[in-house]
Structure 1
Amino acid sequence: MTVLAGTDRPQAAQQDRPIDVPLLDVRGLRVHIGTAARPVRPVDGVGFSIAAGETFALLGESGCGKSMTALALLRLLPDAGRIVGGEVRFAGDELLARSEAGMREVRGGRIAMIFQEPSTSLNPVMTVMTQIGEVLARHRGLRGAAARAEAQRLLDAVGIPDAGRRLDDYPFQFSGGMKQRVMIAMALAGEPELLIADEPTTALDVTIQAQVLDLLARLQAERGMGMLLITHDLGVVARMAQRIGVMYAGELVETGAREDFFRAPLHPYSRKLFAALPTDAQRGRPLAALGGHVPPLDQVFSGCRFAGRCPEVFDRCHHEAPAWQAVGEQAVRCHLYAQDHAEGRTTAVAAPVAVAADARSGARTVPLLDVRDLQVHFPVRKGLLRREVARVRAVDGVSLVLAPGRTLALVGESGCGKTTAGKAILQLVTPTGGEVYLDGTLLAGLSRPALRALRRDFQMVFQDPFASLNPRMRVGEIIEEGMLALGVEPDPLKRAGRIDALLARVGLTPEMKLRYPHEFSGGQRQRIAIARALAVRPKLIVCDEPTSALDVSVQAQILNLMRELQAEFDLAYLFITHNIGVVSWLADEIAVMYLGRIVEQGPVGKVLASPAHPYTRALLAAVPDIGRETAAHAGGAAGAARPVVAGDLPSPLAPPAGCHFHPRCERATDICRAQYPAVTDLRGGRSVRCHWPA
């Protein structure tokens, strides 16, 4: 295999095409942003092709240029961005030669795009009908009754119930999964030949993610669309893609078919992405986190762009850019596979050091955290007198026990009450009922000074550190704020020394305390949030989805840090998440929450190995598993026998009678519809609320 002259794309990308001319053919695409004197090069010679009906996945970290590549294809670059080279041929038509008016005929019609965050992509002051109607009028000439009928058909096709009525709703009246479905309906309204999906499931729960992925796969098969899937989730790639391109620092570094890529990833960067995945098999060992960050793209690279982070780097990597090399049907941009280096090469990846599983604290007679029948109900008031007409039962009888040095994972879909439960435990939300004991002290009824004195014992790390860090305060001031408020370390010099030590402990430098939050990456901001929580020497940290928005490599760094800090300070974590891989690696116990109640809990290994509740089984089945997906595709049965839970979480304002899960449960019987199940104790310290446990 050779590289096509001038295309910067491996020849393998042109083989085994269903048609002679690919639907999309990108060659040597280059994008500059900023001044001509020192431009940023987010896309620097990218080339790939996509056939009709094929899914090509673009994989890599944030900042490597994936989304900018997609925007360049549609010529939707920011004001300071410009395409400085390359070709983009769509069905044989050169898009870069089209006028802006000509591109408007393509965008939304022949090529459609689904953006990562539907909340910011949908107009909040326009109804769904108006927004879909714009596409139908622009690209298909449909208006009036014909447009409404077609919009209703599109919402039906993407699985939105009562589509005719919901056409007149606004985006804020839809859940996150429903908004993503509306985005898909809008994208399909123009009957596109190519669909660009930019991280379409990143912010979704595993159950909604599974529904959206199944929907995209079904619609693609029905319409014969090509798809460019942009993601950093290897499980999603294994489930959806036929071919894969790995992107790093503005260029592709590896391409190949799904089966070849998952059997034997070639580039050291690709292998590091796999090693960073948290799995049950790696439990007790640190994750092979990829150190450092994507290098700044405003420089001219003389060697390999990955050299500064590569465990197999040698002298040639620093001064000579690697060319494409053929390895079977795969292609890789790496000197390790060059003819003069391939023979006798060795891998320099160090094996992770094992951490003794029993190094963490066991249970005590008095648990650190003891939650008994916790309830949080929010009144719904209407009318001139603001009378209470209903109650939202966000948390409806939750009981948990957590020992020092242990991790309890609280899992479930968005809207089930996980975050509200965590805030109520910390008394950030006033509980309606129940009891919360911290180290034997009942928190309810404490005076404000007494509760304030205890606050140093429990802290919270939020999902979005950018929203939880004050943008007007320097990092040092953010960390110091809690110490001052709670009277920790009154001496200014010692306090400054502790801030420096905390920054160093979470992998930052003391000099960074003078910077503002916007000057840091997402992973660095999460480290700052952890340092702020540690500053007051807590015993318990409630972690609310602290890694959900992070790339797999940055996630591995944060998880390793949390495990190290737990062992060092004997911390207890209440870890709120929907990432089952993280749960299996980090947690000791797991509690599965559904519509305000715990439906199953116990030791994490036993619950994940043999779930007793149908909802727990559905959660596990919805997680894209690399081994399961590749085996299914190899057998020609992709997605077969996947018991994905249907529909969305019911409203806690009016929960279903009987077992709350029965409308979505395939095993529901008459008793499930009439009576909420009592707790059933199982072997090995497990419990479940189900009339028919497995």
Structure 2
Amino acid sequence: MIGLIENAGPHLAKRKAAPQTPLLDVRDLRVRIGQGDKRVRPVDGVGFSIAGGETFALLGESGCGKSMTALALLRLLPDGGRIDGGEVSFSGIDLLAQTEAHMRDVRGGKIAMIFQEPSTSLNPVMTVMAQIGEVLARHRGLRDMPARVEARRLLDAVGIPDVERRLDDFPFQFSGGMKQRVMIAMALAGDPALLIADEPTTALDVTIQAQVLDLLARLQAERGMGMLLITHDLGVVARMAQRIGVMYAGELVETGARGDFFRSPLHPYSRKLFAALPTDAQRGHPLAALGGTVPPLDRDFTGCRFADRCPAAFDLCHRDAPAWHTVGGQGVRCHLYAAGHGGPDATAPFGNSVASVPPRSVQAPLLDVRDLKVHFPVRKGLLRREVARIKAVDGVSLTLSPGRTLALVGESGCGKTTAGKAILQLVPPTSGEVFIDGTPLTGLSQAALRTLRRDFQMVFQDPFASLNPRMRVGEIIEEGMLALRIEPDAQARSQRIDALLQRVGLTPTMRLRYPHEFSGGQRQRIAIARALAVRPKLIICDEPTSALDVSVQAQILNLMRELQVEFGLAYLFITHNLGVVSWLAHDVAVMYLGRIVEHGPVERVLAAPAHPYTRALLAAVPNIERELHDIDLGVEPATARKVIVGGDLPSPLDPPAGCHFHPRCDRATDICRAQYPAQTGLRDGHTVRCHWPG
């Protein structure tokens, strides 16, 4: 085991005996951006080491300095950034002392990086072959046919089908999961000894995420690579890492081996991250959300950087910076572990002890969707004749009562978002009926719809894209009230805007700011306030927490639950996060290729899934308890075989015959290939479309 921290403090000056020389050794790394009073220190004294074949995970919220640490290792800092001190040793070479010409050999050749968003990292005007070929020519001297042969081998290794044809495709012709695989192939083209993976699965579905994580684990085992994994997902960390470093406000606050860390996190910040995770055990209880945000890094800190958000802080925490302490095999930067304290109560729960939220009684349906279909025509030729149809939504039926949450889950491309937009008539349905409180929406004129729109609103996945950047927050919230003539009096509207901002955890003074002046979580709160401004009965939430840190996610989920109890709101919650579904939803509908394949109460569907697709989704979710069980058995969680659905979602332009899921189902028989299954009722409102349910 490599030592936990190098040069982190006197308590860890002596490192544990290492079985081998570290591949990467980082000591007291410091990064500064800007000058004078405007300087920012995103990395402030970070140290860790990684051995060959080992995965070290940097865990923490957005803004804590994880990605900037990775960029500093490769000396790829933004304009105005400089390394202010420290050492970075790679295979015995001091990277900070190398010339830029030598660093060009290191980048991609010895150390490769996978970025969070492949769509912005891949060149949109170059083919996949051209982009991989650049790496092969620069670092391995391969060109022309030898380069093509090697590129074909790399894409085949990362699971790209029909490799020879797809080599000459452009990035936009690949799905999100496939683009991430192309990025991995490019990173491996230089045969690196160290791979830096910066949030490699954040925007992916659970099934694609599982495939990518398995792929990374397999390639790492085959090549003996070291890996620096940057993420805020505790489940991914439990599955992939051997050692963990928790980062907060530019510095490491805890390090340790995976098993020790997950069984007994030491730092109050680490414990709060665990408490914020939505789980079955917390269902009916508010999540222990971590209030506030990571402090700005443009100032000098006198005490503990976490003190203002720490429930266990005392006077010393605000006066003096804590030293490093060793507890067993873990290191922690916290005053609670100094002599005379002994740390927080190890028997205390991570979360708060709170009263459960009483379940609402089931009422008559507020939303009633019957056989909804949305088909998009495909036109070709000079006369633009219709040659085919994309069946994005193909016969969806569901109901939703006031005060309840129905989760619509499935992979990207299954039709969830299109169904939500069609329900609100933002996309015209091809056929089917939609009723809100008994009033039909389909077929109404725009003028008639406008008077009904106050009853239903939508919160989108990306609040930055859905908020007008040229309008102040107060104007954004007021816009809907003016359009729907909710409150004719200007003073009453102003008072309502102030009340809404306070209700979603913001302050009235923030009404004068623009969207870019807020964090991601705050922008999502603004989007919720805008939806509430017209007093709706139904809110359709399209992946509202998918891009948020676990702590910010907990704040938004708690807010949504409170608003539902207070106003009797109904939520149609579109997501692929099954952890959120288990905590928030009353009912769940699983969607595959435009159709509902399983539906029922959330406790029934998630505890006893009847459709193989639902079981595959649940198996693909990184599960901390399951990973720790593998550790107890002496099995690496990343290599332990799970039931994970393979391949990508088929195209809705040409869905498979019979059961649409049969090409990816390991239980498919002849009847599955020939006939689409009828709906089977199980019990307690649980239904499934499968020839072999259960």
Q: Shared fold (TM-score greater than 0.5)?
A: yes
Post-superposition shift, 1:15?
Answer: 2.8
1:111 and 2:93 aligned: no
Provide the C-alpha distance between the structure 1 equivalents of 2:40 and 2:426, rounded to a whole number of angstroms. 43
List aligned pairs for 1:557-636, cutoff 5 A.
557-636=555-634
Q: Residue 231 of structure 1 corresponds to which residue in structure 2? A: 231
Residues 424 and 309 (structure 1), Cα distance of their counterparts in 2 relative to 1, 3 Å cut: same
Structure 1's unaligned 5+ residue stretches are none
C-alpha distance 339-369 of structure 1, shift in aligned 2 (>3 A): same
Counterpart-to-counterpart distance in 2, 1:546 and 1:9: 44
2:656 is equivalent to residue 656 of structure 1: yes
Task: Return the match for 2:386 from 385, 388, 394.
Answer: 388
Please report how far the alpha carbon of residue 582 of structure 1 lies from its aligned counterpart in structure 2 after TM superposition. Answer: 0.2
Q: Mark the CA change 1:604 to 1:16 in structure 2 (over 3 Å): closer, same or farther.
A: farther
Q: Which residue does 2:358 correspond to in 1?
A: 357
Q: Deviations over 1:64-100 (max 9, x none)?
A: 0000000000000001110000000001100000011
Q: Which amino acid aligns with 1:56?
A: F
Distance in 2 between residues matched to 1:12 and 1:636, nearest whole Å: 30
Alignment match, 2:82: 82
Give the CA deviation at 1:173: 0.2
In structure 2, the residue corresponding to 1:645 is in which secondary structure? coil
- Counterpart of 2:156? 156
Partner of 2:41: 41
Cα distance in 2 for residues equivalent to 1:189 and 1:2 = 31
Residue 106 of structure 1 deviates from its aligned partner by 0.1
Note if contact 2:235-2:622 (Cα within 8 Å) is conserved in structure 1: yes
Deviations 1:555-602 (A, max 9, x none): 000000000000001000000000000000000000000000000000
Residue 459 of structure 1: aligned partner: 457
> Over residues 500-549 of structure 1, what are the superposed CA-to-partner deviations in whole Å (9 max), with x where a residue is unaligned?
00000000000000000000000000000000000000000000000000
Counterpart position of 1:173: 173
Verify: 1:213 aligned to 2:198, yes or no: no
TM-score, with length taken from structure 1: 0.98
Could you say which residue in structure 2 is the equivalent of 1:62?
62
CA deviation after TM superposition for structure 1 residue 354, in Å: 1.8
1:53 is aligned with what amino acid? G
1:395 aligned counterpart, secondary structure: strand
Alignment of 1:188-203 (within 5 A): 188-203=188-203
- Whether contact under 8 Å (1:88, 1:96) holds in the other structure is yes
Code of the aligned partner of 1:364: Q
Matching residue of 1:671: 671
Deviation, structure 1 residue 363: 2.3
Q: Give the C-alpha shift of residue 631 in structure 1.
A: 1.0
- Shift in alpha-carbon separation, 1:146–1:129, aligned structure 2, 3 A: same
Counterpart CA distance in 1 for 2:618 and 2:507 is 39
Residues in 2 aligned to 1:47 and 1:457: alpha-carbon distance in whole angstroms: 54
Measured in 1, the distance between the counterparts of 2:5 and 2:127 equals: 48
Q: Tell me the amino acid that sits aligned with residue 501 of structure 2.
A: L
Supply the distance in 1 between the matched residues of 2:12 and 2:514 (Cα, whole angstroms): 46
Q: Does 1:526 align with 2:524?
A: yes
- Structure 1 contact 124–171 (Cα < 8 Å) conserved: yes
Q: Is the 8 A contact 1:13 1:256 kept in 2?
A: no
CA distance in 2, matches of 1:345, 1:601: 42
Identity of aligned residues (%): 79
Structure 1 range deviating more: 624-633 or 581-590 = 624-633
2:477 touches 2:533 (CA, 8 Å); kept in 1? yes
Is the alpha carbon distance of 1:8 and 1:201 closer, same or farther for their aligned partners in structure 2, counting shifts above 3 Å? Answer: farther
Q: What is the distance in 2 between the residues matched to 1:142 and 1:31?
A: 36
Say how many residue pairs are matched.
Answer: 690
Does the 8 A contact of 1:13 with 1:48 survive in 2? no
Offset at residue 351 of structure 1 (A): 2.7
Matched AA of 2:215: L
Please report how far the alpha carbon of residue 2 of structure 1 lies from its aligned counterpart in structure 2 after TM superposition: 10
Query: What value does the CA root-mean-square deviation take over the aligned residues?
Result: 1.6
**Gap change, CA 1:108 and 1:4, over 3 Å in 2:** closer
- Deviation string 1:369-417 (CA, Å, 9 cap, x unpaired) is 0000000000000000000000000000000100000000000000000
CA shift, 1:39, in A, is: 1.2
**CA gap 1:476/1:344 in 2 versus in 1, 3 angstroms:** closer
- Tell me, in whole angstroms, the C-alpha distance in 2 between the residues paired with 1:678 and 1:573: 28
Task: Report the alpha carbon displacement of residue 339 of structure 1 after superposing the two structures with TM.
Answer: 1.3
Would you say the 8 A contact 1:9–1:28 is kept in 2?
Answer: no
| Residue type at the aligned position of 2:244 | I
Give 1:324-339 correspondences, 5 Å limit.
324-339=324-339
Partner Cα separation in structure 1 for residue 387 and residue 632 of structure 2: 55
**Aligned residue type for 1:492:** A
Corresponding residue number in structure 2 for 1:25: 25
* 2:141 match: 141
How does the TM-score come out when normalised to structure 2?
A: 0.98
For residues 613 and 340 of structure 2, what CA distance do their matches in structure 1 show? 55
Matches within 5 A, 1:151-550: 151-342=151-342, 351-358=352-359, 360=360, 362-365=361-364, 367-550=365-548
Q: 1:394 to 1:305 in 2, by over 3 A?
A: same
2: distance between equivalents of 1:130 and 1:575? Answer: 41
Inter-partner Cα distance in structure 2 for 1:540 and 1:345:
43
Compared CA separation, residues 75 and 165, structure 1 to 2 (3 A): same
Q: Aligned partner of 1:167: which letter?
A: L
Cα distance, 1:652 vs structure 2: 0.2
Distance 1:13 1:651 in 2: 57
Query: How many angstroms apart in 2 are the aligned matches of 1:219 and 1:4?
Result: 27
Aligned to 1:51: 51
Structure 1: distance between partners of 2:523 and 2:404: 25
How many angstroms apart in 1 are the aligned matches of 2:5 and 2:542? 48
Cα 1:242–1:377 shift into 2, 3 Å: same
2:336/2:343 contact within 8 Å kept = no
Q: Give the CA deviation at 1:215.
A: 0.1
> What is aligned with 1:685?
685
- The amino acid of 1:363's aligned partner reads V
Contact 1:412/1:578 (<8 A) preserved: yes
The DSSP-based 3-state class of the residue aligned with 1:683 is: coil
Please give the alpha-carbon distance, in whole angstroms, between the structure 1 residues aligned to 2:345 and 2:164.
63
Cα distance, 1:37 vs. partner? 3.9
CA displacement at 1:649 relative to structure 2: 0.2
Deviations 1:163-182 (A, max 9, x none): 11100000000000000000
- Offset, 1:17: 3.1
Alpha-carbon contact 1:659-1:672 (below 8 Å) kept: yes
Distance across 2 between alignment mates of 1:87 and 1:519: 35
Q: What amino acid sits opposite 2:449 in the alignment?
A: L
**What residue identity is the alignment partner of 1:129?**
M
- Contact in 2 for aligned 1:254/1:333 (Cα 8 Å): yes
Conserved? CA contact 2:303–2:320, under 8 Å: yes
1:282 CA displacement: 0.2
1:627 Cα deviation from its structure 2 partner: 0.4
Distance in 1 between residues matched to 2:14 and 2:107, nearest whole Å: 25
- Answer whether contact 1:2 1:10 (CA < 8 A) is retained: no
Partner deviation per Cα, 1:142-196 (whole Å, 9 max, x = no partner): 0000000000000000000001110000000000000000000000000000000
Residue 553 (str. 1) matches residue 551 (str. 2): yes
Rounded Cα–Cα distance in structure 1 between residues aligned with 2:646 and 2:585:
27
Q: Could you say if the C-alpha distance between residues 615 and 4 of structure 1 is closer, same or farther in structure 2, counting changes exceeding 3 Å?
A: closer
92-101 or 348-357, which deviates more: 348-357
1:13 and 1:612 mapped to 2: Cα distance?
Answer: 54
Asked if structure 2 preserves the Cα contact closer than 8 Å seen for 1:322 and 1:335, the reply is yes
Task: Specify the SS of the correspondent of 2:684.
Answer: helix
